[in-house]
Each structure stands twice: as structure tokens, then as C-alpha cells.
Amino acid sequence: MIEAKNLTKRYGDKTVVDDLSFTVEPGRVTGFLGPNGAGKSTTMRLLLGLDRPDAGEATVNGVPYRELDRPLSVVGALLEARAVHTGRSAFNHLLCLAQTQGIGRRRVEEVIEQVGLASVAHKRAGGFSLGMGQRLGIAAALLGDPAALVLDEPVNGLDPEGILWIRNLMKSLAAEGRAVFVSSHLMNEMAVTADHLVVIGRGRLVADCSTEEFIERSTERSVLVRTPDGTQLAGLLQREGATVTRTAEGDLDVTGIEAPRIAELAAADGLVLHELTTRRGSLEEAFMELTRDAVEYDADVPAAGGVK
Ligand SMILES: Nc1ncnc2c1ncn2[C@@H]1O[C@H](COP(=O)(O)OP(=O)(O)OP(=O)(O)O)[C@@H](O)[C@H]1O
């Protein structure tokens, strides 16, 4: 389990991570979301002891990273999305890393197999494509068979096949009981990958809840109604407490009342319906709105355990 408690980091007079607290639980993928510059990479560096917080603390299984005896066996990390610039082969690169932590050759072979690099294991890693470099970085993160993983934007710059591979790998690592913490600035990608979301804006926590709950709360549902009896139906629905607006095409856009109830009310008054479609707002739009101004949003919605 990874824990951030009141983490704060300032660069000059700018507070980049601001009193941030959250937990990354084992057995699930926790997505770490925020627009560019929100403070995700900085937070991950603090979790991994690469930077010191100005206040608060970060621990892995209750221990600060710098105090871990064999860190690779506790938490694996992928920090930068680029190929390794080395004249060494992928195998030797991993072997060197393994030897610093008393990890054997057999384990190096295993992780190379696991990330699908067996056929190029003895090729120079410096010549790898971005996707192969990402696989190598993930192999390094997995070397110590860690219970927790911290991955910073692992799908950046990958092709659809690479994205799918990383997505499935993260899910299977979580299914094995590991705590997987993965950052992204892409809401839609996280929506299909993560079980839980920690969302930040300007270094502050904006949401800490299940992905399902986030989607449910963030995207308002409305019903599109196409009818030749628009005026009567609009009046009827408004009397039932719904909010009705006319679209440019003359259809009704209805919120506050579900599609089956609209159909029942229309039927009871003998009104004709040509179409009844439940629609959801775009998740990406909701995310942009949510993170545009963290402070402003804070005042609007309930805190603690849900969308803050
Ligand atoms: N070493 C540093 N010195 C000064 N400012 C920094 C430093 N590292 C990061 N920052 C600033 O802190 C803010 C947060 O950066 P960070 O890289 O953590 O954001 P991010 O959410 O990971 O963004 P991205 O999605 O673009 O990677 C940015 O405004 C950045 O310019």
C-alpha cells in the first residue's frame, strides 16, 4: 500500500503539490489524473524519495522509500517515457540493475519474457523504439517482484497495440494483489483502465473515488425526445419537475426525469414519440471542467471519500 499524507512541495513561491493525501490500495489500479502541470510527476517523485517534501510524508507499506532495505522488491517504478540510451543489451541492462539488489539471472529472464522482449533481449537497448523502451522500463519495474508499482504516463507515445498491452498488464498486476498507481492526463484512457481515481488540479486533490462513481457523478444524464407533440409534452414534463430545453432541431432535451417515465407520461396523455434516447455528457469534458479550477470546484460538491 502506498500512502501520501499531507504532501506538500514548493518550487520557489509556487506550491506544486498542495497538502495532498490519498492511499493506493493493493489489488486495484489507481489512476492518477490531472491536466499537464498539475503536479503528478512531482508527487510520484516524492513517493519514490527522489525529492523531499516541504511538508507531509509518503510511505510504502508504512515505510518512507529512502528507508527501504531493498526498494526494488517493494515498489517498482517507471518514471520517464523514453527509451534507455545505452550501448548495453536489454538483458545486460536489466542484469546490472538486478545485481545491485541481489536479484538473480533467472528473474531477469522471467521479466524479459513477461514483457515480450525475448526476441530482442540481446540487442542494443539504445536502438529500441519508444514502445520497446517502455517494455524495458516496465521489465525493470517488475524485476524485484514488487507489491506496488508507480508508473508515470506509461502509455504516452505508444501505438494502440502498445496501449492495450500496458492496460492489460496493469490490470493483471492488480489482479495478482499488487497496488498499481498510474498517472495520465487522459481521462478516457483512465476510465477504461483504473478501478479507482485520484484526481488533482493545481497540486490539490479534486476527487478520490471509484472510477464508476466518478463517471456517474461527472456526466449528467439527459434524454433526447423527438416528438411531433413537443409543446404539450414539454409542458407536461415541466409540471413533473423536469428541465426541458429545445435543441436546434426542435427536439426536447430533458433532464431530471428518466426515459421510461417520459414514455409513460406521454402514453397517458396520448402524445406521440418518435425517439427517446438517454445520453451522457463526455467524460473528457467533465474532467476538464473539474480540474479547470480546483478551488472553485471545492465549494460545489461534497468532500470526504467522494468527488471533492
Ligand atoms: N524541479 C522543478 N523546478 C521548478 N518547477 C518545477 C520543477 N519540477 C516541476 N516543476 C513545476 O511544477 C509543476 C508541476 O509539474 P509536474 O511535472 O509535477 O506536473 P504533471 O502533472 O506531471 O504534468 P505533466 O502531465 O505535464 O507531466 C509545473 O508547473 C512544473 O513546471
Contact 57, 46 (CB under 8 A): no
Share of the chain above pLDDT 90, in %: 63
Read off the pLDDT of residues 128-164 as tens digits, 9 standing for 90 and up. Answer: 888 888 899 999 999 999 999 999 999 887 888 889 9
Measure 43 CA to ligand 1 centroid, in angstroms. 9
**Which pLDDT belongs to residue 305?**
43
Q: Looking at residue 175, what is its pLDDT?
A: 97
The answer, yes or no, to whether any atom of ligand 1 lies below 6 A from the CB of 13, is: no
Ligand 1 pocket member 37 (CB < 6 A): yes
Residue nearest to atom 12 of ligand 1 (CA): 16
ipTM of the complex: 0.94
Instruction: Name the percent of the chain lying above pLDDT 70.
Output: 93
Q: Which of 18, 33, 40 to mutate to test the pocket of ligand 1 (most atoms within 8 A of CB)?
A: 40
